[in-house]
């Protein structure tokens, strides 16, 4: 499915990634085609080791494919040089990880503003943006706390604020509720629903059926390949998010 302009925000063609070589070679991603439209939430599920994280890394330019193409807004990213790739990762794609990956020695607001500073924003603008986001995510009172003083759900909300800070084209989340208890999971679940409603384009790897249920489309991954669940069931195909804008 593509957006009104016809260009998917994120697109993969014939994507492959092998790890290792010789007898130990693993086909972690084995011929994936995927188009994600503006405002769409796509969920990917599948057993451990089927290649979900490897696929997300390829989609976000954290790793290079062995073969195939990845495009962001119609522009190839798999063949970018290191500098261009680093710039793209700072501003156009962002990640939310299962284990949060916050800098433990920085406060919540410092964690969030850091990515804006790295993208070249002034300290004043970066701080204001970070504070706004923490405020929106219900963490205004926690902005000066270190991650060690926050609950898992609060840490993940800081990580989401960081992911949104530079208004990325797409947010890639790898098991975002995997380390959370059930109350925090509900909290983060609601956050992703809100992001979806705000028009943020999302690709979420998850074992949580409740997250998958909020997606426009879900895919099952097995042995490095994707199957479109909606097509398999012939049932409820999703629709792109009502708001196809990308305002952060």
Ligand X SMILES: Nc1ncnc2c1ncn2[C@@H]1O[C@H](COP(=O)(O)OP(=O)(O)OP(=O)(O)O)[C@@H](O)[C@H]1O
- Interaction partner, residue 90 (Mg ion, ligand X, none; CB < 5-8 Å by kind): none
C-beta separation of 143 from 172 below 8 A: no
Decide which of Mg ion, ligand X, none touches 50; Cβ closer than 5 to 8 Å per partner kind: ligand X
Distance (Å, whole) CA 215 – CA 14: 24
Q: What dihedral do alpha carbons 116, 118, 122, 128 form, nearest 10°?
A: 20
Measured from the CB atom, the residue of 97 and 192 that comes closer to ligand X is 97
Cβ-based nearer residue to ligand X, 50 or 195: 50
Q: How far is the CB of 221 from ligand X (least distance, A)?
A: 7
**What is the rounded distance in angstroms from the CA atom of residue 12 to the CA atom of residue 41?**
16
Give the interface segment with Mg ion, choosing from 11-19, 46-54, 138-146, 206-214 (CB under 5 A): 46-54
- The CB-side HSE value for 134 (13 A sphere, CA atoms) comes to 23
Helices (H), 123-151: 123-136
* Shortest Cβ 96–Mg ion spacing (Å): 13
Pairing of strands 201-205, 10-19: unpaired
Give the residue with the Cβ less far from ligand X, 43 or 161. Answer: 43
Partner that binds at residue 188, options Mg ion, ligand X, none, CB closer than 5 to 8 Å by kind: none
Please select the residue that binds Mg ion; options are 45, 53, 111, 156, rule is CB under 5 A. Answer: 53
């Amino acid at each position: 499915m593509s957006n009104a302009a016809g260009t998917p925000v994120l697109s993969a063609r014939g994507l492959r990634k092998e790890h290792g070589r010789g007898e130990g070679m693993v086909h972690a991603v084995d011929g994936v085609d995927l188009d994600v439209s503006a405002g769409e939430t796509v969920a990917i599920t599948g057993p451990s080791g089927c290649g979900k994280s490897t696929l997300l890394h390829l989609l976000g330019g954290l790793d290079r494919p062995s073969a195939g193409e990845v495009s962001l807004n119609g522009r190839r990213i798999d063949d970018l040089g290191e500098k261009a790739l680093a710039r793209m990762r700072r501003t156009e794609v962002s990640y939310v990880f299962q284990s949060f990956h916050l800098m433990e020695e920085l406060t919540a607001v410092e964690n969030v503003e850091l990515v804006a500073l790295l993208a070249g924003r002034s300290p004043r603008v970066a701080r204001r943006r970070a504070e706004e986001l923490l405020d929106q995510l219900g963490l205004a009172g926690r902005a000066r706390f270190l991650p060690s003083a926050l609950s898992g759900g609060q840490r993940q909300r800081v990580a989401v604020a960081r992911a949104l800070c530079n208004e990325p084209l797409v947010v890639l989340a790898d098991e975002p509720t995997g380390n959370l208890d059930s109350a925090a999971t509900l909290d983060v679940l609601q956050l992703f629903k809100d992001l979806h409603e705000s028009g943020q384009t999302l690709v979420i790897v998850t074992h949580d059926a409740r997250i998958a249920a909020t997606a426009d489309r879900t895919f099952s991954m097995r042995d490095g390949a994707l199957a479109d669940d909606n097509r398999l069931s012939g049932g409820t195909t999703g629709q792109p998010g009502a708001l196809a804008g990308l305002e952060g």
